[in-house]
A and B are shown apart, each in its own frame.
Chain A
Amino acid sequence: MILNKLLTKMELMSKYTISIILFFTCSALLAQLGKSAKDTTTYKDRYGLRVGIDVVRPIYSLFSDEMNGFEIVGDYRVSKRFYVATELGYRDQTTQEDFFNFSTKGQYIKVGVDYNAYKNWLGMENMIVVGLRYGFSTFSQSVNEYTINADPFVPVRTETDNITYDGLSGHWAELVIGLKVEVLHNVFLGVSFRGNTLISAQKPDNFKNLYIPGFERVFVNNNGFSFNYTVSYLIPLYRK
């Protein structure tokens, strides 16, 4: 039942991802059609700071009691293909499981590099991003409610006293794969998929870090994955 539900969810998710990718591919094509290649042998690439926000989370936060969060993203071009990239965010997430319910609250920072694997036409700045990040988060976990898992023959016991574990932290490594497409002058739409591996995390006494801000859901083998959809603006600084 749960598996089924999850599978449909994943299906929807991948459908969504695929259509986003298609959308970006199409808009990239359109953008290419719109511009005529300039006849210049001394074309200089633009270098600058690109800042943006995650667009899905703030909208989701408005309609959901379970989640509250935002993420700011930024990158700075350091060479033809390399960018220094970072993400900063805050998350307050409540997760419902079969036998308990818990909230995770905290902030995170990710720093690393992005490599542009896409060979652009002259004057274009689209990206296929392959990147690495180091992530760090400080957070608190609180168990809001739990029901003891025991033989169904005896009446259940549910504890509703909130148990909070403060001052926890965790750090992890992240592999990033994504797209960034310039849809308007200096405005980029981005999508990225991230695979995470937890390096270490402070464990609460009688609980586990099942969710970490920035890392998101922590699976049994300490791996996880996440997505983000961003809109960002490029502040051009110089040409090289």
Chain B
Amino acid sequence: MRKVLKILMFLLILVTQMSCERDEICLEDITPKLIIRFYNDNIPTEVKSVINLKVNIEGIEGDYSNETITILTDSIAIPLQIAENRTSFILTLQGDESEGTEDNLDTITISYIQEDIFVSRSCGFKTIFNDSNGSLVDDDDNWIKNIETVNDSQQIIDENGAHVKIYH
């Protein structure tokens, strides 16, 4: 009888041990955001911060607000469209009424080729962006002077470093 009890006990312990599933929560990296770093147009190696920046994505209502965007910052992380192979961002340098400056809207377009990659049970599939390119839409009064990817045929596979440089 003792043996029986021991075995039943073991069975019970095994069953209770199984009730907690480690793979229920997504902890891995999912689809990376685009990281833009701002540089000084006059001294291209020098990082130059922006303040009061507003980010909109063309075709999506509302602005992308992230705590890193509205404060003084030298880099921002913004999501790319996955339903399309290009994303147009409207970067607005917001004016200050007391200084008499107005909002300055500039549009940049990032194009890329997507590649879907399986991550895990809880995270599902993510996509990475290959061969990405950036371009600036010219208007009369651009606050952005130039845009370029950090590398030729830039890959956006993680959020560990900048992918695109903006000179202003």
Interface residue ranges, A against B (CB under 8 Å)? 2-3, 6-7, 10, 13-14, 17, 21, 97-100, 117-118, 128, 130, 146-151, 153-157, 159, 177, 193, 195, 206-208, 210, 219-221, 225
Distance in angstroms from A195 CB to nearest chain B CB is 6
B79 touches A154 (CB 8 A): yes
A219 touches B22 (CB 8 A): yes
Within 8 A of A (CB), among B1-45: 3-4, 7-8, 10-12, 14-16, 18-19, 21-24, 26, 30-31, 33
**Residues of A contacting B143 in the complex (Cβ-Cβ under 8 angstroms):** none
Distance in angstroms from B35 CB to nearest chain A CB is 13
Residue from A97, A117, A177 within 8 A of B3 (CB atoms):
A117
Residue B119 lies at the interface, judged by CB distance under 8 Å to chain A: yes
Report whether over half of chain B's contact residues are helix, strand or loop; otherwise say mixed: mixed
Distance in angstroms from A226 CB to nearest chain B CB is 11
Residue B111 lies at the interface, judged by CB distance under 8 Å to chain A: no
Instruction: Provide the bound-state CA to CA distance between A206 and B128, in Å.
Output: 13
**Residues of A contacting B124 in the complex (Cβ-Cβ under 8 angstroms):** 97-100, 146-149
**Residues of A contacting B79 in the complex (Cβ-Cβ under 8 angstroms):** 150-151, 153-154
Q: How large is the interface on B (under 10, 10 to 19, 20 to 34, 35 or more residues)?
A: 35 or more
Instruction: Provide the bound-state CA to CA distance between A58 and B115, in Å.
Output: 40
B64 touches A153 (CB 8 A): yes
Residue B70 lies at the interface, judged by CB distance under 8 Å to chain A: no
Q: Which of B16, B117, B118 has the most CB of A within 10 A?
A: B118
B10 touches A177 (CB 8 A): yes
Given contacts A117-B3, A149-B126, A156-B82, contact A210 B121 (CB under 8 A): yes
A10 touches B18 (CB 8 A): yes
List 27 contacting pairs A-B, 8 Å CB cutoff, sorted by A. A14-B12, A21-B8, A99-B125, A117-B4, A118-B4, A146-B125, A147-B125, A148-B31, A148-B125, A148-B127, A149-B119, A149-B126, A150-B31, A150-B82, A150-B127, A151-B33, A154-B60, A155-B82, A159-B116, A177-B14, A193-B14, A206-B116, A206-B118, A208-B118, A208-B120, A219-B23, A220-B23
Instruction: Provide the bound-state CA to CA distance between A219 and B120, in Å.
Output: 11
Residue B144 lies at the interface, judged by CB distance under 8 Å to chain A: no
Given contacts A150-B31, A150-B126, A219-B23, contact A17 B120 (CB under 8 A): no
**Residues of B contacting A147 in the complex (Cβ-Cβ under 8 angstroms):** 124-125
B82 touches A128 (CB 8 A): no
Per CB-CB distance, the 4 closest pairs between chain A and chain B, nearest first, are: A99-B124, A151-B79, A150-B31, A10-B19
Q: Which of A17, A150, A155, A210 has the most CB of B within 10 A?
A: A150
**Residues of B contacting A21 in the complex (Cβ-Cβ under 8 angstroms):** 8
Instruction: Provide the bound-state CA to CA distance between A14 and B10, in Å.
Output: 14
Instruction: Provide the bound-state CA to CA distance between A222 and B21, in Å.
Output: 12
